[in-house]
Amino acid sequence: DQQVKQNSPSLSVQEGRISILNCDYTNSMFDYFLWYKKYPAEGPTFLISISSIKDKNEDGRFTVFLNKSAKHLSLHIVPSQPGDSAVYFCAATQTGANNLFFGTGTRLTVIP
Amino acid sequence: EAQVTQNPRYLITVTGKKLTVTCSQNMNHEYMSWYRQDPGLGLRQIYYSMNVEVTDKGDVPEGYKVSRKEKRNFPLILESPSPNQTSLYFCASSLSGYRGAKNIQYFGAGTRLSVL
C-alpha cells in the first residue's frame, strides 16, 4: 500500500521554464517531507525538505510547497536547467519514526 | 572523500545461492539503511539500523537479513535469493539516529542484482 504517491511518471519542460513536480500522501501522521534527486547509475541525493509547521521552503531555484489539508506537496524548479534532468523522489516520515517512505518517482526532462 | 560504498555494483546469481551485499560508510554515521528500487514502486525500505547492534524492519524485510556489528558496515544478506528479489539496491547512511528518518541520507551508487 503506497503511502506516498507521485502520479506523474514523467515530465518534460523547456529550459528556463518552471518545473512542477507533485506528490501526495495518505498518512496524516507524516510531518516531515524530503525531496531527493537521482541521476542514472548514481544513488539519490538530498535536495530540499519541509516540516509540517511550514507551508513553504525555498533553496535557490528550488521551492517546496506543502498543503497539509490536501495531503499534497509540490516541488517547483525555476528556472529549469538541462542539468536538472533526473528522477525526483519525494519521501515522508513522522516525528519519532525511523523509517522513510518514498514515492514512485517522476522523471524530469529539461529540453534545451 | 565522504562516501557510502556498496559492493558489488552488479551481481547475477541463481535461486537459493546465499549472497551478501556489503555497505560501508566513512562518515561515522549512526543511522544506516537498505532500500530496493523497483519500476512503478519507487524506493522501499528493507531494514534500517539506528546504531551498532540496533536494527529494525522497514517496509519490505521479508527474505532479507542485516547485521550491524561495526558502525561503518551494514551488510545485506539474502539467505536464499528468489527471482522476486531481482532489483536495484541502495544503502544509505545519516548522521544521527535521534532525528530518525528526518536526517539527510547519503546513498551509495547502488547494486543491481539479478536472481535467475
A39 touches chain B (CB under 8 A): no
What's the length of chain B?
A: 116
Phi and psi angles of residue B83, each rounded to the nearest 5 degrees, phi first: -55, -30
pLDDT tens for A41-82 read 999 999 999 999 999 999 999 999 999 999 999 999 999 999
Contact A99 B59 (CB under 8 A): yes
Distances (CA, A) of A8 to A3, A23, A89, A97, B114: 16, 9, 11, 28, 27
pLDDT tens, residue order, chain B (116 aa): 889 999 999 999 999 999 999 999 999 999 999 999 999 899 999 999 999 999 999 999 999 999 999 999 999 999 999 999 999 999 999 987 667 777 899 999 999 999 99
From the CB of residue A108, how many other CB atoms can be counted at a distance below 10 Å?
Answer: 22
pLDDT reported for residue B97:
61
pLDDT tens for A88-102 read 999 999 988 888 899
A7 touches chain B (CB under 8 A): no
Contact A44 B58 (CB under 8 A): no
> Which three-class secondary structure state does DSSP give residue A34?
strand
DSSP annotation of B81? -
